[in-house]
Amino acid sequence: MNLDEEEFFKKPEKDTFEQEIGLDVIKDKVDEISKKIDLLEKKLSTEKPEKLEKKKFQIFLDTADVEEIRKAHSWGILDGVTTNPTLVSKTGRSFEECIHEIVSIVDGPISAEVVSTDAEGMIKEARELAKIHENIVVKIPITPDGLKAIKVLSQEGIKTNATLCFSANQAILATKAGATYVSPFIGRLDDIGHEGMQVVREIVQIFRNYDFKTKVIVASIRHPLHVIEAAKCGADMATVPFDVLEKMVKHALTDVGIKRFLEDWAKVPKG
Residue 117 lies in a domain: yes
**Which has the closest alpha carbon to 147: 124, 178, 125, 126?**
178
Residue 3 has a pLDDT of 55
Separation CA 58–CA 17 (nearest Å): 67
Query: What per-residue string of b and e applies to 107-142 under the rule 16 or more CB within 10 Å gives b?
Result: ebbbbbbbebeebeebbebbeebbeeeebbbbbbbb
Residue 25 lies in a domain: no
Q: Kindly indicate the confidence band of residue 146, based on its pLDDT and cuts at 50, 70 and 90.
A: very high
Separation CA 130–CA 158 (nearest Å): 7
Q: Kindly indicate the confidence band of residue 44, based on its pLDDT and cuts at 50, 70 and 90.
A: low
This prediction's pTM: 0.79
**Tell me, what CATH number does 74's domain have?**
3.20.20.70
Residue 48 has a pLDDT of 52
Separation CA 265–CA 246 (nearest Å): 27
Residue 39 lies in a domain: no
For 161-199, write each residue's pLDDT tens digit.
999 999 999 999 999 999 999 999 999 999 999 999 999
Q: Kindly indicate the confidence band of residue 47, based on its pLDDT and cuts at 50, 70 and 90.
A: low
Q: Kindly indicate the confidence band of residue 30, based on its pLDDT and cuts at 50, 70 and 90.
A: confident
Residue 96 lies in a domain: yes
Residue 227 lies in a domain: yes
Q: Where is pLDDT greater, at 36 or 80?
A: 80
Whether 139 is catalytic is: yes
Rg (Cα) of the chain, in Å, rounded?
A: 32
**pLDDT score of 17 more than 80:** no
Output DSSP code: residue 12: P
**pLDDT score of 270 more than 50:** yes
Residue 1 has a pLDDT of 56
Residue 29 lies in a domain: no
Residue 46 has a pLDDT of 62
Which of these is catalytic: 55, 139, 259, 267? 139
Residue 48 lies in a domain: no
Residue 24 lies in a domain: no
User: How many distinct structural domains can be found in the chain?
Assistant: 1
Residue 31 has a pLDDT of 77
Q: Kindly indicate the confidence band of residue 52, based on its pLDDT and cuts at 50, 70 and 90.
A: very low
For 213-233, write each residue's pLDDT tens digit.
999 999 999 999 999 999 999
Q: Which structural domain, as residue segments, surrounds residue 94?
A: 59-249
Strands 215-218 and 58-62, bridge-based pairing: unpaired
Residue 53 has a pLDDT of 56
The identity of residue 16, as a single letter, is: T
12 CB burial (10 A radius; 0-12, 13-18, 19+): exposed
For 71-128, write each residue's pLDDT tens digit.
999 999 999 999 999 999 999 999 999 999 999 999 999 999 999 999 999 999 999 9
Query: Mean pLDDT score of the chain, rounded to an integer?
Result: 90
Output DSSP code: residue 10: S
Contact 217, 82 (CB under 8 A): yes
Q: Kindly indicate the confidence band of residue 203, based on its pLDDT and cuts at 50, 70 and 90.
A: very high
Q: Kindly indicate the confidence band of residue 2, based on its pLDDT and cuts at 50, 70 and 90.
A: low
| H-assigned helices in the chain | 3-9, 16-21, 23-46, 66-74, 85-91, 95-105, 119-132, 144-155, 168-177, 186-191, 196-209, 224-232, 242-249, 252-267
Residue 6 has a pLDDT of 57
